């Protein structure tokens, strides 16, 4: 095989994949292990690596190999993997041809420095301390947008959700808003129907860690293939299908944050781990798109972790570790608490119903930043006004307001919509799971969690990025992204819980 252009291309792509994983490792280390003063030199290391990766990715020899492999594939009888490989290699090639090396390096450096600046500014709740690095990042992103043709927000989106457009996102978000706003109003009248106080109290981090490792150890990772570490803004990183780095954060007064956060990151990790082993180090290894990735994390977090069946099984595990808090309670009480609908400040702590409104707010702000005339300095005011408008919440400080998310510090503009798209997809996927595994509820309630992972692996994970995001979505749910199953799912759940 190595005598063919296709074989030689794969060898090149494997090196690029390695460089990408090394960058991922540097980023993981920065956010979990690195001592506080390591940031400046780390930024240079990441910029150097980005420069080397860019040089390799734009090497004319690679371009020739892609062309030769394309004609081999066109003239042969290619399997889906070959077609997918040349498709994605061509896409990445065109992409790196357009972005100059100095801009790639500047973006990598600004991302590492921006992250450090965000951590400090958020700890001090000081937006002006963060503003210079944010402005620098937005300038660089504008330069980046100028490298491509098309509408600015579509260009940003395309990096995370290939083929998705701002107009399509708007159409989906309008339907979400129309369904969720009246539902939230109905619940507001019955806000006292659910008491969630059992999830707040005294939860020492070391005991939480014990619980999270038990749960993560049970969702289906191969032993020895994963680890879990604390961080400021949780994420999952994969260095390969057998090296999954999960992160979480512990709030010693609130169990829900680490609990649902950890299950969420497990969903991401399972997707990366579930990619077929023989795709390792290929361009196709790894989740297909950000929305598809988020469909997995949200499905595990919500349809699984916020289900009555999960709590039936998990309640004794939780009670054994936190006896004082849970000895007098039962699974149903915690299930209800875990599903309380309450407009709140923080996106990652939001319930399933109000969550999409947090995303819609960020989408509107990002569009205004890159397509309108919103100035970065005005972000706190605009943020606060929108929080009041859409969620009825007064923002007490920037740390819990505009500085709550890490994304903008690292230049991840256009990423937020994929969270809500993934949430919507999770409900579509869950419909299929329930049809294919009629016994799924009972399985979850009895601690038999592997069939769910197996289903996801069989229908989604193992393909990695073999197919385009749109094709993958159609393959797994039978049609395009559709908010109706999500709206039906949350409405039925909330109406039952609140006795509407
Ligand atoms: Zn996620």
Write down the pLDDT at residue 3. 78
Residue with tokens 């700890």: 123
Distances (CA, A) of 165 to 45, 76, 172, 410, 494: 34, 34, 11, 22, 31
Active-site annotation holds for 368:
no
- How many angstroms does the Cα of residue 190 sit away from the middle of ligand 1? 30
Q: How far out from the chain centre does Cα 98 lie?
A: 26
For 230, phi then psi, to 5°, come to -75, 150
Write down the pLDDT at residue 93. 95
- Assign 81 to helix, strand or coil: helix
- How many angstroms does the Cα of residue 235 sit away from the middle of ligand 1? 7
Write down the pLDDT at residue 1. 47
User: Could you give the CA distance from residue 322 to residue 208 in angstroms, rounded to a whole number?
Assistant: 9
Q: Which of 265, 352, 366, 410 is catalytic?
A: 265
CB-based burial label for 439 (10 Å; 0-12, 13-18, 19+) = exposed
Q: What is the pTM of this model?
A: 0.94
- How many angstroms does the Cα of residue 266 sit away from the middle of ligand 1? 9
Q: How far out from the chain centre does Cα 328 lie?
A: 36
- How many angstroms does the Cα of residue 291 sit away from the middle of ligand 1? 9
Q: What tokens were used for 19?
A: 């460089």
pLDDT tens digits along 22-63: 999 999 999 999 998 999 999 999 999 999 999 999 999 999
- How many angstroms does the Cα of residue 355 sit away from the middle of ligand 1? 13
Residue with tokens 């993934």: 422
Q: What tokens were used for 175?
A: 């339907």
Q: How far out from the chain centre does Cα 198 lie?
A: 28
- How many angstroms does the Cα of residue 145 sit away from the middle of ligand 1? 25
- How many angstroms does the Cα of residue 336 sit away from the middle of ligand 1? 23
- How many angstroms does the Cα of residue 337 sit away from the middle of ligand 1? 22
User: Could you give the CA distance from residue 392 to residue 191 in angstroms, rounded to a whole number?
Assistant: 14
pLDDT in tens, the chain (500 residues): 457 999 999 999 999 999 999 999 999 999 999 998 999 999 999 999 999 999 999 999 999 999 999 999 999 999 999 999 999 999 999 999 999 989 988 998 999 899 999 999 999 999 999 999 999 999 999 999 999 999 999 999 999 999 999 999 999 999 999 999 999 999 988 988 999 999 999 999 999 999 999 999 999 999 999 999 999 889 999 999 999 999 999 999 999 999 999 999 999 999 999 999 999 999 999 999 999 999 999 999 999 999 999 999 999 999 999 999 999 999 999 999 999 999 999 998 899 999 999 999 999 999 999 999 999 999 999 999 999 999 999 999 999 999 999 999 999 999 999 999 999 999 999 999 999 999 999 999 999 999 999 999 999 999 999 999 999 999 999 999 999 999 999 999 999 999 87
Distances (CA, A) of 280 to 14, 235, 285, 388, 457: 9, 21, 6, 47, 15
- How many angstroms does the Cα of residue 137 sit away from the middle of ligand 1? 23
- How many angstroms does the Cα of residue 268 sit away from the middle of ligand 1? 7
Write down the pLDDT at residue 499. 86
User: Could you give the CA distance from residue 337 to residue 345 in angstroms, rounded to a whole number?
Assistant: 18
Radius of gyration of the chain (CA): 23
User: Could you give the CA distance from residue 276 to residue 274 in angstroms, rounded to a whole number?
Assistant: 6
Alpha helices in 299-411 (DSSP H): 308-321, 323-326, 331-337, 355-371, 379-391
Distances (CA, A) of 118 to 232, 403, 406: 10, 7, 7
Write down the pLDDT at residue 191. 84
Contact 433, 440 (CB under 8 A): yes
Half-sphere exposure of 163 (CA within 13 A, CB side): 13
- How many angstroms does the Cα of residue 380 sit away from the middle of ligand 1? 24
User: Could you give the CA distance from residue 407 to residue 234 in angstroms, rounded to a whole number?
Assistant: 11
């Amino acid at each position: 095989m190595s005598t063919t252009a296709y074989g030689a291309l794969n060898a090149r792509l494997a090196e690029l994949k390695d460089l990408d994983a090394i960058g991922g490792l540097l980023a993981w280390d920065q956010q979990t292990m690195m001592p506080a003063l390591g940031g400046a030199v780390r930024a240079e290391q990441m910029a150097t690596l980005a420069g080397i990766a860019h040089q390799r990715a734009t090497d004319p020899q690679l371009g020739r190999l892609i062309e030769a492999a394309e004609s081999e594939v066109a003239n042969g009888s290619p399997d889906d993997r070959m077609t997918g490989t040349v498709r994605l290699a061509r896409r990445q090639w065109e992409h790196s041809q357009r972005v100059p090396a100095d801009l790639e390096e500047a973006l990598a450096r600004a991302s590492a420095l921006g992250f450090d600046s965000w951590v400090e500014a958020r700890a001090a709740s000081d937006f002006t301390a963060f503003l210079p690095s944010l402005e620098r990042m937005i300038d660089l992103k504008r330069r980046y947008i100028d490298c491509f043709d098309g509408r600015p927000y579509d260009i940003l989106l395309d990096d995370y959700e290939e083929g998705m457009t701002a107009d399509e996102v708007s159409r989906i978000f309008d339907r979400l808003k129309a369904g969720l706003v009246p539902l939230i109003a109905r619940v507001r009248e019955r806000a006292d129907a659910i008491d969630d106080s059992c999830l707040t109290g005294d939860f020492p981090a070391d005991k939480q860690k014990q619980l999270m490792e038990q749960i993560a150890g049970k969702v289906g990772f191969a032993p020895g293939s994963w680890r879990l570490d604390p961080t400021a803004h949780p994420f999952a990183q994969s260095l390969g299908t057998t090296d999954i780095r999960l992160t979480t954060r512990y709030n010693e007064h609130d169990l829900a944050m680490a609990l649902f956060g950890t299950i969420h990151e497990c969903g991401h990790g399972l997707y990366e781990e579930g990619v077929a082993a023989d795709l390792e180090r290929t361009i196709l290894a790894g989740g297909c798109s950000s929305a598809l990735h988020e469909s997995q994390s949200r499905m595990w977090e919500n349809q699984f972790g916020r289900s009555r069946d999960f709590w039936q099984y998990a309640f004794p595990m939780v009670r054994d570790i936190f006896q004082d808090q849970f000895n007098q309670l039962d699974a149903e009480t915690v299930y209800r608490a875990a599903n309380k609908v309450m407009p709140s400040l923080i996106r990652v702590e939001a319930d399933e119903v109000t969550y999409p409104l947090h995303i819609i707010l960020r989408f509107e702000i990002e569009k205004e930043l890159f397509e309108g005339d919103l100035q970065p300095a005005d972000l706190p005011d605009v943020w606060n006004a929108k929080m009041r408008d859409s969620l009825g919440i007064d923002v007490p400080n920037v740390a819990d307001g505009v500085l709550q998310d890490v994304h903008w510090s690292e230049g991840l503009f256009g990423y937020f919509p994929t969270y809500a798209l993934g949430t919507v997809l999770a409900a579509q996927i869950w419909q299929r799971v329930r049809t294919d595994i009629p016994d799924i509820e009972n399985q979850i309630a009895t601690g038999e969690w592997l069939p769910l992972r197996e289903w996801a692996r069989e229908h989604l994970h193992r393909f990695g990025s073999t197919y385009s995001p749109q094709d993958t979505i159609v393959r797994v749910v039978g049609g395009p992204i559709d908010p109706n199953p999500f709206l039906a799912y949350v409405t039925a759940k909330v109406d039952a819980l609140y006795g509407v």
